[in-house]
Chain A
Amino acid sequence: MTQPVSSSLTHVLHELGHYLPAQSPLKDFVHHNTLHAYQHLPFHEGIQIASENFGYKVYWRLEKYRELYHAGKINDEILDRIITEHKGAEKLKHWKQLLIHQAPQEFPEPKVGKLRKLWRENYNLNLDKEVHNTLFRIVSSYLDQGIAIWKFPSESKGLLSAVRILEKNSFSTFIKSDRSRELLFSTKTRLEDLLFLLVGNEERYSQYLFDQQFAHPGWSGMVAGLENHPERLLDKKKVSLHDLIFLECLLEIDALDRRRGTKWTALAKHIPSEMPGIFEASQPSEILQIHSLWQEAFEWTYYDQVIKGLQLSHAKKAEKDRPSFQAMFCIDDRCCSIRRYIERFSPDCQTYGTAGFFNIPFYFQPEHGKFMTKVCPAPVDPIHVIKESGAKIRHEKDAHFSKHSKGVFGAWFISQTMGFWSAIKIAKNIFRPGPTPAMVSSFNHMDPKGKLSIECIHPDQRHHGLQVGFTVEEMANSLEGLLKSIGLVNNFAPLVYVMGHGASSVNNTHYAGYDCGACSGRAGSVNARAIAHIGNHKAVRTILKTRGIEIPDETQFIGGLHDTTRDEMEFYDLDILVKKNRLLHANNVQTFEIALDFNAKERSRRFNTINSKDDAKKIHDKVKLRAMSLFEPRPEWNHATNALCVVGKRENNRHLFLDKRAFLNSYDHRIDPEGKYLFNILKAVAPVCGGINLEYYFSKVDNQQLGAGSKLPHNVMGLIGVANGMDGDLRTGLPLQMVNIHDPLRILITVEHYPEVILNAIQSHAATYEWFINEWVRMVCIHPDSKNAFYFKGGQFFLYQPVTKQIEKVTNLDVILETTSENLPVYLLA
């Protein structure tokens, strides 16, 4: 039905889609760089332009940096070094004076929204107020995934055609004026025609649309995202940014006609010719430069200790004895501390970190499920599916969510009966939290007793065009890739654990963001179980042997899942274990239990409801309750402490206390002299860890515009997003409760390899290289032989001399953890 738009407008629509927030519906929440549209520019330049274009705050508050400086958390020497480097030694004094004493000033007025103000100035009409409510309500009802009981009645052939059908056949209408109704019903109307009426000057169309759409970036971004990825909705809806804009323009014309009759004309004649367009270049303002220098100094103060710490590694030269067991974890920063405790309570074990889908991308089809769910990094398009069978149904009903409680007579009955039951339920949850049907538990992702179709039996057997299961060759390739990239190619222990991770929470709209990012916001249990099965596969081992990886017969793989909120673990397919390994496993489980208790205890220092000095086991019980408490907006802190990604041998960072701030990816440069696996690691690490890190960064520095604000007043819209109250725009980014304790630092990625190999690896893929060259993530190379550090800048590596002279060695870490709640510096573990 919709008319094609001219190529220039197509371009504008495309641009708009690029700049709008790219957030998926809640169920598929995946972290990404909030300002991805500026990633082609160097970090500071990009975000400063974003600030001037759209009025975002892109740095922390000035007082905050100064506070850190005076508290010694921004190093003075590093600050001098940074200013000298950027402004020259002769201007050091001048800029330092500004940094420390300049009074807070207003930022330059954003360029977006200037055109829109003209409506109010010239016609005394607040178009946003006239149009937004109706527009949001129509779009929200149209896209609704299941809240409304009476669904949008006309079929979803597209937003615009649905509205047309509705308007044509209804006595009550949204669009009232004759002219706008004609425009709506005429199949000849093009978007240009509407813009001609509203703007009148073709050169300003683009600016007008940016102004219009950035008055409600949440809904526009959602529509733009769904246009390109309709599969993100279970109940499919056809929608496009063009339709949304078309509808909004019509509603605007209608509002103007109703309010002003014939007494209005297009904006063109009111636009001062000197009014800048949105993307017109301007000088970076001094106040933003002051912020950027502070930011650099803040970051390098932390990086400096980390680099010093990594240089102090004293990995034993000789290969050790056979380890007691080996355990693979996700690269996730939350696994940083649990690995430290496992190693502490079982010193002769080895732990590894790698992306938590364990190098097998596929879709998972749970039994009874009507849909498939992707369990690998979001950009990957799997060609395999693993189906589950023999599982029991794993979800309960709760009448409180039923539509009967919203009716007349049903609700009349329910409120007088179940209403009293509700009172008891609230009281129970407040005093003794327990599992409810409303909660999300990572252990429900897969039924451990169910069967998985991991092996491909008939290659022609297809499920929605995907191959069911993996062939032996494919399985061998996956496992080989996994083992070689983490450097586990010999000296296998009797037991090799593969631990996925997931999270539990209740009353949490952003639950998907708490699960494994490498599994597209799902728990990693199926992947872990599948790769363990592959590792135990005889034929696969035979193939691997020919490729130089010999897995001894007595070695067995065990898949498992670590719930990071409750700190519980679950292990799969234990019946295949031989007797000897069964005993060893029973022994290891005890180690894990203790490690989990201590991990919970360490996490509790950030939880205000728990006394961290209590006994670890007792604290652990409280942490478990917390995950099921309706009143707890922070079931866990998720990635809130992330700041670092270390790629290298665990032996070379095992001596450091990194306070859950590090993504740890195991990698042995000796196995990979050409950097082939390194490339694969960095290709994933930069966008995944970088994306997580920058989403936290921007949600922290501008929680109102780039984050979702406080989650306490959030209202769920159509199951796809949250807004404040009834009439608001969708809120994108992270809620305040996820970032309270976050320090906005860009992530530092350190790699243990030779500089030229690293350079080669990152340069071989333009999209990956962009992250590094434009400094959206920072890169430091630790030379494997000399331990010299080199930082990456402008396409080259430069030698870095840390300011930090020594790293404090801690013997009483437990006491420090019990008595502090802030981010801790790097320590040497005793």
Chain B
Amino acid sequence: MLTRRSFAAASAAALVPFSAQAQMRYPVPTVTLVTHSSPGGGSDVFLRELIKHLHPVMGVNFAVENVRGGSGATAVARVARARPDGSMFYATTPTYIQTTLLSRPEFGYDSLDPLAIVFLDPEVIYTRVESPFRTLADAVAHAKANPGRQRWGAANPASLERIAFEKMNRLIGARAAVVSHEGGGDLMINVLNGTLDLGIGEIQEIRAQLDANRIRLLGVVTEERLPDFPDLATAREQGVDLVVTKFRGLAGPKGMPDEIAAMWHDALRQVLASPAYKEQYAKESLVPALKGREEARRFTAEFAAEIAATLRELGVVR
């Protein structure tokens, strides 16, 4: 039934001129977006805000489904087995790639077809205000002069943030102790009480302390400076060739028609440009970085290859 409808939509798309495609009806009435995060968690909030703005643009109903367990593998399996008719997608973050590499589940990131990359979540390096370091360059100079003396903290053991600090360690030869925690809260306590010299995380996670002037940002680990922190230099500008790309996107089951992907691309572009949504995501320091299907596929494959190489180097996987 659903396939017949999507077939009708696909053939209709072939008849109408390209510009009319955005107005074309979406093949299914309800789209389920699946996330591995629990209600209130990062991807859950991302989806719930996104659908508020997507609903009027795409004219379909959206449902968010929290499929937890298996560090994301259960949610991936659910979407991978769904019909490729545009009715179900998974909210991607680097987690789904890491879980695949760490435990090789039956359905991994490569059982899904990336649909789009929507945002980049910028990572910042920070310290407490009592620290003598004013910039990342200060901290790096001190670390180089005192190898093996500094202590850096990341939220989780197999996280992108830990990988970033291990890389930085190698880049500047600091031999710093990189300590992983059980989430951002733990890490923040150890930065605030001076146990750690540096911490790394998303702006959203450290917002409370930042606003209260308890911590100081030293550098941002992105290609370009952030719009809402124009004075914060990137790590590259400060002599450390480190860029971390934490992304938020969507992926669906394999075999979905290109027309559906094109409709998503159009809709996402419209939504990202809308002032109401802009205000919302700017508050969370999310950087819009829309990549369509082809680009998202390439991006995901490259990202996975890089993470796999680093996890092997760290000795986490063989």
Q: Do A and B bind each other?
A: no
What residues make up the interface of A, taking CB atoms closer than 8 Å to B? none
Query: Which residue numbers of B lie inside 8 Å of A, CB to CB?
Result: none
